[in-house]
Amino acid sequence: MSIKTYPHNKLIVILGPTASGKSELSVKLAKKFNGEVISADSRQIYQEMTIGTAKVTKREMDNIPHYMTNIIKPDQEFSLAQFKQKAIKIIKDIQKRDKIPFLVGGTGLYIQSIVDNLDIPDVKPDKKLRDKLEKLSNQELLSQLKKLDPDTANSIDYHNKRRLIRALEVCLITKKPFSKQRKKGKILFNTLQIGINPDKKILEQRISQRADKMIKKGLIEEIEKLLTKYKNSLPSLNSIGYAEIIQYLEKKTSLDQAKNLINRHSLQYAKRQITWFKRDKRIHWIQGQNQAEKLIKDFIGK
């Protein structure tokens, strides 16, 4: 009996806004199409940050290998260039084993770095400049970035202080917008991009339920444990879900207020993600699993 092998450069991307159901769908598709999953999520890279980043549990993985989660500590630096290098190596390894790599996530720049083989600017960190920028609030950093690079400012997660500082650092050192320096290289993979964009009301409902679910799972305890090891000013702990609960633990807000803020910030982030992805006309937007399966069957010729 002949064994079906896939052309080794095929890559499937499952993308969409936060809480759209990417992880669940990707496991089902990877199961059906002999695949393995690479996370393209800039928060799931952190160890010890599990509940607030909505990482897939071992049970939810359903024996499908997952990569690029839990790879650094919350106080460590991790650049886009590092993500690209590591993810490409994993994708090629999966392909060599005649499996289909599924790149899954909502971090647009992570995904684009792979799909378009972005040539990422090699700008060395400037500690003096970073220390100066670190003293500014996220809103102040965003205001500066809007003047220097509106494209990046419109798509960046402005709760992620580390990314705001890096984008500004590149703009200020090179005197050019960060967005204009990410040039597309020679395409590495034959890629199918599938986007999940649920109905607005459904997405709002999922997001509104998320904070409650995370708190029931132990988000507060997870953050209390993190604060015994790390400073609350870390960029990783300034992300959605963590920053708001830290405010609650510092008695700056009530728990209900913290939950409302998580929901509001998550919804704002989802809108920015959709805006970013909608610019890429190569993405096939779907409403359900059947559509995704048909696209994949046509793509891999099965």
- Residue 1's pLDDT is 34
With H, G, I as helix, E, B as strand and everything else as coil, classify residue 181: coil
Q: Which residues in 150-217 belong to E strands, given as ranges?
A: 183-184, 190-196
- Residue 122's pLDDT is 74
What is d(CA 133, CA 26) in angstroms, rounded to the nearest whole number?
A: 38
What is d(CA 239, CA 259) in angstroms, rounded to the nearest whole number?
A: 14
Residue 68, C-beta contacts closer than 8 angstroms, at least 6 positions apart: 38, 39, 40, 44, 45, 83, 86, 87, 90
Annotated domain spans of the chain: 121-181, 201-269
User: pTM of the prediction?
Assistant: 0.88
Task: Give the H/E segment covering residue 255.
Answer: helix 255-278
- Would you write out the chain's pLDDT as a tens digit for each of its 302 residues? 334 444 569 999 999 999 999 999 999 999 999 999 999 999 999 999 999 999 999 999 999 999 999 999 999 989 888 999 999 999 999 999 999 999 999 999 999 999 999 988 778 889 899 999 989 998 999 999 999 999 888 878 777 788 899 899 999 999 998 888 778 899 999 999 999 989 999 999 999 999 999 999 999 999 999 999 999 989 899 999 999 999 999 999 999 999 999 999 999 999 999 999 999 999 999 989 999 999 999 999 86
Q: How many helices (H) and strands (E) does the chain have?
A: 13, 8
Q: CATH number for 121-181: choose from 3.60.15.10, 3.50.50.60, 1.10.20.140, 3.30.2040.10.
A: 1.10.20.140
Torsion sign across C-alpha atoms 135, 141, 143, 147: positive
Cα–Cα distances (Å) from 217 to 93, 220, 221, in that order, read: 34, 9, 9
Q: Which of 40, 8, 31, 35 shows the shortest CA–CA distance to 273?
A: 40
- Residue 8's pLDDT is 67
Q: 201-269: which CATH architecture?
A: Orthogonal Bundle (1.10)
- Residue 158's pLDDT is 78
Give backbone dihedrals phi and psi of 149, rounded to 5 degrees, phi first.
Answer: -155, 80
Q: Which residue has the tokens 């092998």?
A: 5
| Secondary structure letter of residue 253 according to DSSP | S
